[in-house]
Amino acid sequence: MADPAPLIGTALAPVPDGAAAEWFKGANGARLRGALFFPTRLPRGSVIVSPGRTEGIEKYFEVAERLTARGFVVLVHDWRGQGLADRLLHDRLLGHAVGHADFLSDYRALIGIFEDRLPQPWIALGHSMGGCLTLLAMARGQVGISAAILSAPMLGLRTGSVPRPVARLLASLSTALGLGGRPTPGPAPSAPAPFETNILTHDRARYERNEAQIIAHPDLKLGGPTWGWLKFAFSATEILARGAGVPTLATPVTVVAAGDDLLVDNGALEAVTKRLRRGRYVEIPGAYHEILQETDEIQAVFWREFDALADQVAPD
């Protein structure tokens, strides 16, 4: 029997009609959350939505509604350490990770719990960290996914003024010295951050909607990453850049990059896409990192790509 979990609505982002969430157990007994959203007609398939770092299910209500309007059952989940899932450190605002194995075990558990309620075919949709982990799960043998579309996936990190090899070395050394749970250097995130200085979206209304969710329900908030999270990110991207699993994938995968992304490296996105047998790389000029929170004009490119991919595997 399902263990019901809350879905948090606000005036700007009410819970979609018919949506329901439940708790489930991931690796090492971590309490995780998944939510189902249903179309009003006979489903043509299902979409499994994996958010990026810091994001919870609630941020994807609009995305879920766009997908159910297209006739899909939608499953959105909280990764461990964010949303309302179990946090990994005493300081719940620190974004932490201990390698990628637990994430992949959590993803398998998610599929196992919900698969009987997800009509085939399945399309995976992952943003940023969620895109990285979705592709990693597929490369490591996750079965059942007929196609995937990745929004600005974390396939390579931008490290600002610190050269990437130096940042990777610092992450490895800090973790080896027992400092994996310490925050990486940088200013503490403000609450709320002003729209004018954000690097995530050009859409003020969506940005303020998402900030309002956090203000109304601080338990959804997540701050900066730890050294352990950074080590995980470098390791996961290295596997996708050089590992054996990616070139063997026969599943169609569309990678949608944000042209003005300041968080992930689009050169790495393009390089990983070229390693895929059926990879397609699309870059949206002028877009910031959070494509699915961007303006309607920018999002339209993503949704055209989604529709083209969906028509291949789940024709309406």
CATH number at residue 271: 3.40.50.1820
Q: Taking 90 as the threshold, does the pLDDT of residue 126 lie above it?
A: yes
Is the Cα dihedral 187, 191, 197, 200 positive or negative?
positive
Q: Taking 90 as the threshold, does the pLDDT of residue 191 lie above it?
A: no
Fill in the DSSP letter of residue 217: -
Q: What is the pLDDT of residues 40-55, one digit of tens each?
A: 999 999 999 999 999 9
How is the chain split among helix, strand and coil, in percent rounded to 5?
40, 20, 40
Measured between alpha carbons, how far is residue 124 from residues 76, 79, 119, 183, 220 in Å? Answer: 10, 15, 13, 31, 23
Determine the structural domain holding residue 266 and report its residue range.
3-313
Q: Taking 80 as the threshold, does the pLDDT of residue 188 lie above it?
A: no
Q: What's the pLDDT band for 91 if we cut at 50, 70, 90?
A: very high
Q: What's the pLDDT band for 289 if we cut at 50, 70, 90?
A: very high
Q: Taking 60 as the threshold, does the pLDDT of residue 221 lie above it?
A: yes
Q: How many whole angstroms separate alpha carbon 258 and alpha carbon 299?
A: 10
pLDDT of residue 67: 98
Task: Indicate the number of domains in the chain.
Answer: 1
Closest CA to 53 of 104, 110, 106, 127: 127
pLDDT of residue 94: 96
Stretch 291-312: mean pLDDT: 98
Q: How many whole angstroms separate alpha carbon 271 and alpha carbon 258?
A: 15
Q: What's the pLDDT band for 189 if we cut at 50, 70, 90?
A: low
